[in-house]
Structure 1
Amino acid sequence: MNNVLSIGQFLLTSAMAILVLAVVCDAVVLTGRGARAQAVPAPAGPGGAHGGKAVGGAVGGRASHSAHWARASRPDLPRGLALYATGFTAIALALITAYLALRASATGYSPFANQHEFAVSFTFGILLMYLIAEFRYRVRWLSIVVLPVVIALLIYADSQDKAITPLVPALRNSLMLTLHVFFAVLAYGAACVSFAAAVLYLLHPRLKRFRSLPSLEVLDDVGYKAATATFPLLTMMTVLGAVWANTAWGRYWGWDPKETAALVTWLVYGAYLHARVTRGWQGSRSAWLLILGFAAVLFAYFGNHFFGGLHSYG
């Protein structure tokens, strides 16, 4: 068991170091004088549409929409230092995946049982969703927000108790443990991507001197698309949690503090999508809602330290 912990510590430390290198490479690529503009207006559509109108001076219309999807379907592969940045990020994800697999092999259950394991799993979800977003949209600027969040979570995970201990009785349902937390990990990862897009949207006026900065329209659309992934994943997490709660505690819902925090998080993203689709909320207002949503995610996650209740294990 000590060997497992030693190897695990090496994997996590290596992942943190490699992510620092990725951030440095991305910063050089994005702020360099030769960085070229990489964003084009996003297409119009329900909820994420701008109806052919420009945001922040971008040119709308059918031609620009076609150009966007042509670029998205045949994106340029990263080159030079950008390729290193993407490669470092992918390697960090592989190391974290290896760490989680190592713990699962050593314990015999999914590595989601305590604050340390879930923090590492949280970083897995964020990096996975970020790499998907980078491949799909080529918005490398997201890394400037996303990767520091991942590094901070890994530092937090390293500060938690890493000892491998038997599962508490409430967690002794391997299938439900895996499904419930896996959907949470993916939801939180997508939420972090939408948060990054929202932060960049609000900081756009201060960063617009960088030629590689995506347009406001692209950032707005990426934040929306990530939120449309977050909400159904949160829904699955909540439904599975209720089913598991009935198995473990004999009731589907008991207004336990962490259950309530998860419900509030779900409602924030539901309100965002409702305002976006029915009220036409875009721009700064929707960006602030996405930031509020990710704050609710963090509050629900770190609530184990001060909520108490039935979810206070770990």
Structure 2
Amino acid sequence: MGLRYGLLLQDAGFPVDFVEIWDKSIETIKEQGGVYQSRDRQNKHLVPVNIYSPEDYQGDPDVWIVFVKQMQLADALKRCQHLFNDKQYVVAPMNGIGHIEKLNQYFDSEKVLSGTAMIATVLNGPGDVDFMGAAGSGSMKLVNQNETPDEMTYKIVDEFKQANLNPDLTTNFMGTLMSKVILNSVLNTLCTMFEIRMGEFIQAPTAEKLGQQLVDEAFDVCERANIQLLNTRQQEWQTIKTASETSMPLHYPSMYQDMHKNRPTEVDYINGYIYDLGVKHHYEASTHDYLRNLVHLAEFAKNFDEEKFLASKE
């Protein structure tokens, strides 16, 4: 997603630098002279970019756009802290919730924007990104942490529009973030567990029953936490259905991509966050907790050393 946002903004004429924490990505992109970009596996071409490690970068950007996994964020921010100053804004439309408190250690809350990104993207490998969907497809929501847009906020929104990221500015911080967490708690988790695309999931006879149960539990949690969501329960399910049937039917969610490549998933920041928030308000979203533990079991099984296990039993 970081590559997609950066490449689209660069294509729209804005200066972009990429600051990467994955050494293999930096090495590959420098060796090949840029990022290979394709769309729906077609028209693969090389796009030159400026890429640096946090230690090598010497720029002073107006805005940081942050796309790392939730569990990587603390280390990424620590490595970049010498680059931050009180004039800079940060935009973090990341999956899950857990990033805001970490960002607030380095940025004033008045300069923190988060949101959601309904923009399907696949990282085929280091320096090789595939934009899913037609040009201009996908959308996102942006929201200020203080829920008060300022001049820079509107400038960011305008530049994102020029880059065809289709931003919609809201003024409901937690309601906006939770809307994507709830969607991901259904699609990311279930598609990952059964290794299916979103379009396959929605065709299952049990899809609505499973999805609605997760949505209802999440809404019960939010009501107890006094979080006003952007949608009703039925509207939230319809958003999930539309994303699966129309917007991104061929997409494997990012959690699946992590599982498939033996990387830790963000389930603790999605289903786990919903469950933990519920417990704080004396409610157990037990289905979310059950799915969180199933994903962790799948992670364990994926990385299980069968040969070592069998040898130990001989």
TM-score by length of 1: 0.28
Higher relative contact order (CA 8 A, sep 6+): 1
Q: Would you tell me which structure has more helix in proportion to its own residues?
A: 1
TM-score by length of 2: 0.28
Q: Would you tell me which structure has more strand in proportion to its own residues?
A: 2
